[in-house]
Amino acid sequence: MKLSIVLGILLLFQIYPLGSQTAWVQKAYLAGAARNRAVGFSIHDCLYLGTGETTSQRWGTTDLWQWNQLTDTWIQKADFPGGARFDAIAFSIGNKGYIGGGGSQSGWQEDFWEYDPAADHWIQKANLGGGPRAQGVGFSIGDKGYIVTGGNGNPLNDFWEWTQSNNTWTKKTDFPGPHRTFAAAFTIGNKGYVVGGLNNEALQDLWEWNQATDTWIQKASFEGQAGIGIVAFSIGTKAYIVTGKDNLGNTLQTTWEWDQQTNAWTQLSDFIGTGRCMATAVKVGDKGYLSAGGHYNNSPYPELEKDLWEFSPQTSTGISNFEKDPELRLFPNPSHGIFTISLTSKAKEKKWFVYHTTGKCIRTESFSGNEMNIDLSQQAKGIYFLEVWAHEKRMGQKVVIE
């Protein structure tokens, strides 16, 4: 037994070397006002974030901001000319960005606009297929853009394709899942995906659309906490679902990975910023980015955010690895599954996670004291990894169940 434990620990250190970095890293704050219900898209090395609801402009804004990945700086660009709005739909094709639809003080919108970053100029295009639409999702594949779900006082499941070369909308096969608002969308290859959303309560289903056949099929449902206002982005053949608000109104910090090749979900280390919903997320190169959003503290209006976070998938394995920290004690270790965490940190809010060697999070819980018992007696014998968060500090230890 002792030999197998030693070999297991050595193998784990080889697979997960010490000193790996967190998957989430904070970048420069948005230079404009904090907001939620905004839109975003990316072009080359830049992220664009605009419109949305701010504290002083509840009916929406028109400002557009560019963040440069190479310099970590924000610059204000030409305002969106369609008028102040929130809950719009956006995507990019090549070197152009697009924003359309949404809600405003005058009602639901159907206009559709193209942004050229080289000229810092907007041009109006053909109105959205299907008429006014807000709280839907958009994505692009090749030279075509797509809009689906959302509503305009009535729920919408119609699905529309916009062709950049001739500025025309074509109706495609309707979305087959329950109607919804505030879903999330992403693309992998020539396939588009819609996940979650709100239909009286938060949904967890995932749907795949094949551009070659114009057909929808349902995939494995999201395994995380059902959330309203989740966000998603894809990197390679994997997608990432982050944040949201559960059916009880609690904002979420979870990060989940979906693998297109295996159709399987894995929980990763949590998003380390403030939990939120209605954020904005896009991919730039091989990184994911999340900004804006809001969280509720017994108020009819959310507290809005303007921080920007960068996600790196190569450091996002469910098992995080850290040098042993003297603030954290775990005893007895090894044990038959009952452990005690002892922490000297004075942080008021703490959280622990236990991961399997595959990287899947098997248990997590928040606590406020300096000691807490963990019962892993129902888990199989073997090596696990404990991660503890105390405010912004993260500590970890290997766990052995005999």
| Residues 245 and 340 grouped into a single domain | no
Query: Could you tell me the CA-to-CA distances from 152 to 80, 84, 199 in Å, in that order?
Result: 21, 17, 14
Q: Are residues 48 and 170 in the same domain?
A: yes
Poorest-confidence range of 34-48, 85-99, 340-354?
340-354
93, pLDDT greater than 70:
yes
Residues 6+ apart with CB under 8 A from 262: none
Asked whether residue 7 carries a pLDDT value surpassing 80, the answer given is no
Report the pLDDT value the prediction gives residue 324, as an integer from 0 to 100: 61
Same domain assignment for residues 289 and 355 = no
Residues 223 and 110 in one domain: yes
Query: What CATH number has the domain bearing residue 10?
Result: 2.60.40.3080
For residue 292, give the 3-state DSSP assignment: coil
**Domain finish residue from 271, 287, 315:** 315
Give the list of residues 6+ apart from residue 248 with CB closer than 8 angstroms, or none: none
Tokens for 385, please give them. Answer: 């990894």
> Count of H helices and E strands in the chain?
1, 35
pLDDT (tens digit, 9 = 90+) per residue, 112-136? 999 999 999 999 999 999 999 999 9
What pLDDT does residue 74 have? 98
Q: Which helix (H) or strand (E) holds 12?
A: helix 2-15
Of 309, 312, 321, 264, nearest in space to 285 by CA: 312
Please report the pLDDT score of residue 124 as a whole number: 98
Q: Output 8 or 57, whichever has higher pLDDT.
A: 57
Range 342-363 average pLDDT: 79
Residue pLDDT, tens place only, 9-35: 333 333 333 333 458 999 999 999 999
In this predicted structure, the answer to whether residue 323 has a pLDDT above a threshold of 70 is no
Q: Residue 88 is part of a domain; what is its CATH number?
A: 2.120.10.80
| Residue 304 pLDDT level (bands cut at 50, 70, 90) | very high
For position 325, what pLDDT does the model report? 75
Range of the domain at 361: 2-19+319-401
311 and 349 assigned to the same domain: no
Q: Model confidence over 175-206: pLDDT tens digits?
A: 999 999 999 999 999 999 999 999 999 999 99
**Per-residue pLDDT tens digits for 238-254:** 999 999 999 888 899 99
Q: What is the count of structural domains for the chain?
A: 2
Are 265 and 348 in the same domain? no
Per-residue pLDDT tens digits for 131-152: 999 999 999 999 999 999 999 9
Q: Which two tokens stand for residue 51?
A: 């419109």
| Same domain, yes or no: 298 and 339 | no
Same domain, 336 and 357: yes
Tokens matching residue 115? 């942004």
- Please determine, for residue 356, whether its predicted confidence score (pLDDT) is greater than 80: no
* Residue at which a domain ends, from 315, 335, 352: 315
Q: Looking at the structure, do residues 219 and 333 belong to the same domain, yes or no?
A: no
Residue 344 sits at the vertex; the CA angle it makes with 340 and 348, to the nearest 5 degrees, is 95
- Please give the pLDDT value at position 315: 58
Q: What is the rounded average pLDDT for all residues in the chain?
A: 89
Does 283 share its domain with 387? no
Q: Are 88 and 168 members of one domain?
A: yes
The confidence score (pLDDT) of residue 349 equals: 77
Q: Looking at 315, 333, 351, which one is the last position of a domain?
A: 315
Q: Which of 235-239, 321-325, 347-351 has the lowest mean pLDDT?
A: 321-325
Per-residue model confidence (pLDDT) at position 123: 98
**Centroid of chain to Cα 283:** 10
Q: Are residues 323 and 309 in the same domain?
A: no
